[in-house]
Amino acid sequence: MTKNNSGNRLPSSIEKFILHLHPPKIDKRALKFTRTFGLGGINALLFVILCFTGLVLRFSYVPTVQHAYDSIVALQSDTVFGQFIRNLHHISAKLMVIVSFLHLIRTYYSQAIYKKRAENWIYGLIMMFMVIVSSFTGYLLPWDQLAYWAVTVITQIIEYVPYIGHPIANLVRGGETVDGNTLLNFYNLHTGIVPIVFIFLMSMHFWLVRKAGGVALPEIDKSKAERVFVIPNLLWLEIMVAALLIAGLFVFSTFYHAPLLEQANPLNSPNPSKAPWYFLGAQELLLHLHPFFSAVLLPLAVGIFFFYLPYFKYSNLNTGVWFNSALGKRMTIHSAIFSFVFTFVLTYLLEHFLHFDLWFASLGSWFATGLVPFLIYTIPFIAYLWYWKTKHGAKTEEIVMTITTILMSSYICMMLISLLLRGKGMLMII
């Protein structure tokens, strides 16, 4: 510990680093765990764990079709703590996808994406995309049946995009099929390019949070705001959350083994062949909608909608207030339940009773399996939004939040249907 000429203690090197990430003092309300749930810090820590475990795995892994699977087997059986390291890497990767999504929706529902925070929302969406890319590229590396056919399914879905789908799929695969070129492409992306891009995005993300004044909080009289030192108040909270997370991951990694099926066999497709779990909603959608709607129109429209969220013309924003208002909270809860149930019921009806492909076959598949089910799904939600607007006076803030909730809840429902209720031939088991 050193002191300057006036006798005040000078910060240590560690403290200086911490003060690059945080201001010296913050609003005491930001320390409340339910304000952020520590999701941003958890995400950053998971990335660090993935980097360290990934570096260790690189010493054993051989990125070729002939040796990839055997190197994983040897890692698990012959390397000291090899199985544990792979388990830790696998669990952390899955958890990072979940935590990234939770962090994104926490930021949105706490109204922390508007005005000076809008740019950071865009960076957050790009980072979420990079987390998915990282998980997807790592999915193939074990070169077992699960990995091979999951990646095959996704690249086949990409091919449904008109005109550009096939060239993009070939670019991803490095050819017409998933083979050694694909494995090498994914290995280089997963271990080199994606981490470097993510570090840059994460640095920008932290800097923009700091620039915006930290955690978004409801506005109050500045004279009533109590400010406390980051060190030790926030620092000890971060250390406690990090310790609990690491302890939990270590315990779980001791007892849970990362899956490894038999070696990949391009001639033996499992039944059913499913995409990685976070893409199952897209695979489910493709079962019911024409490829133009499920692979082009809807993803493009939803992507534009999410990127434009901070820029709609709002009139009653309450930054830092969960759900913006009491009405916004009601609408969010109701719409989440309504969209989940409606999506499940409509999926079941499409599976067993609503055979539009037969009823409207003469009008073409684009109409029968595209426009008709699309309208059947969207018209009730338009009526639902109109009800809230006319009967309860919902403003733009609540309407946009409800649409966002409907989209996310519907996708989660489809993902769970595909994950839990799809058996052989991708038929529903109920």
User: pTM score, two decimals?
Assistant: 0.92
Residues 6+ away with beta carbon under 8 Å from 179? 65, 173, 266
Superfamily for the 13-267 domain? Cytochrome Bc1 Complex; Chain C (1.20.810.10)
pLDDT in tens, 21-63: 677 888 888 888 889 999 999 999 999 999 999 999 999 999 9
What is the residue extent of each domain of the chain? 13-267, 271-430
pLDDT of residue 91: 97
Return d(Cα 165, Cα 157) in angstroms, integer: 9
356 versus 307: the higher-pLDDT residue is 307
Return d(Cα 293, Cα 296) in angstroms, integer: 6
Instruction: Kindly report the number of other CB atoms within 10 A of residue 299's CB atom.
Output: 14
pLDDT at 1 over 50: no
The SS3 of residue 391 is: helix
24 versus 159: the higher-pLDDT residue is 159
pLDDT at 238 over 50: yes
Task: List the single range of 51-55, 206-210, 279-283, 331-335 with lowest mean pLDDT.
Answer: 206-210
Return d(Cα 38, Cα 41) in angstroms, integer: 6
For 99, the token pair is: 């935590």
